[in-house]
Amino acid sequence: MNNEMARLQKCLNCVRKATSFVPKVAVVLGSGLGGFADHIRVAYEMSYHEIEDFPVSTVPGHEGKFIFGYVGDVPVVCMKGRVHYYEGYGMNEVVLPIRLMKLLGAEILVLTNAAGGVNPIFRAGDLMLIKDQISLFVPNPLVGENLDELGCRFPDMSAIYDRELQVLIREAASECNIVLQSGVYAQLSGPSYESPAEIRFLGKIGCDAVGMSTAVEAIAGKHMGMRICGVSCISNMAAGITDAALNHEEVQENAGRVGTQFCGLLITAIQRM
Ligand code: HPA
């Protein structure tokens, strides 16, 4: 067995020794959005530290654990905290949790993040449905020997974000009276925020929001045949769009401020998945 598969199998065995819970939906909570976890009817919690060889985050605000439980009647596994490429992990490690959640049974992947608004019509505090993505600025997580057990060598990315899930999220938003923007998410490596010139460039190539996660997770999920949807919380306008300087604490605070809306949207949507 390939090393990466062996590592994944080891993590899977470790989780399976602790719980037989089979999730339908996997949810990844972004920076400052961890409050959603309070709305899960918890069946079991497992700290990432308890899973042998599992990548563990070093960033404040990315407390690391899996929460297994129910949103309505829907069995979910929720990642509270994720690891990022900028922490020095390889892309294989960054996407390992996504692969693990699929092997645990999750068919649907709900990705969330805090992101900078590139589209000038956005405002800090907006929520954006991710329609498509640009991941040209970070290594592809599928580089290396293909894990044939997971998916094919050249997976199609022409519809990464599932159309039906997009409709479902839009309907949930209108029911919750939430104005939902939509657009293209670009992943850059970070950890520095972008320069104004970089943001102008991103705007010109069709990007609406920018962040440091998500796109590679979506690629790994799609490789394994997951149905994917994503919501960005526009925690700040990106560099140069306004005169404001950026810092991580403010980004987290702003993301936390729309937490109620964000939770309402996710709960309503996931109950129908
Ligand atoms: N740039 C990149 N990543 C981010 C930003 C940003 O402005 N805000 C939150 N995550």
DSSP state string for 155-195: ---TT-B-HHHHHHHHHHHHHTT--EEEEEEEE---SSPPP
236 is annotated as an active-site residue = yes
* pLDDT, one tens digit for every residue, the chain (273 residues): 789 999 999 999 999 999 999 999 999 998 777 788 889 999 999 999 999 999 987 666 555 899 999 999 999 999 998 899 999 999 999 999 999 999 999 999 999 999 999 999 999 999 999 999 999 999 999 999 999 999 999 999 999 999 999 999 999 999 999 999 999 999 999 999 999 999 999 999 999 999 999 999 999 999 999 999 999 999 999 999 988 888 888 777 777 778 888 999 999 999 999
CA of 193 to the centre of ligand 1 (A): 6
Q: Which atom of ligand 1 is nearest to the CA of 237?
A: 7
CA of 16 to the centre of ligand 1 (A): 35
Q: Residues near ligand 1 with C-beta < 6 Å?
A: 114-116, 193-194, 210-212, 235-236, 238, 246, 251
CA of 198 to the centre of ligand 1 (A): 12
Catalytic residue among 31, 113, 232, 254: 31
Rounded CA-CA distance 59/71 in Å is: 27
Residue to mutate, 128, 213, 246, 247, ligand 1, most ligand atoms under 8 Å from C-beta: 246
**Which amino acid, residue 176?**
C
Give Cβ neighbours of residue 20 (< 8 Å, ≥ 6 apart): none
At 92, list the tokens: 């294989």
The three-class DSSP label of residue 150 is coil
Query: pLDDT value at position 128?
Result: 97
31 is annotated as an active-site residue = yes
In the numeric block, the tokens 């080891």 are attached to 10
* CA proximity to 14, closest of 48, 44, 52, 43: 52
- Asked whether the beta carbons of 113 and 233 are under 8 A apart, the reply is yes
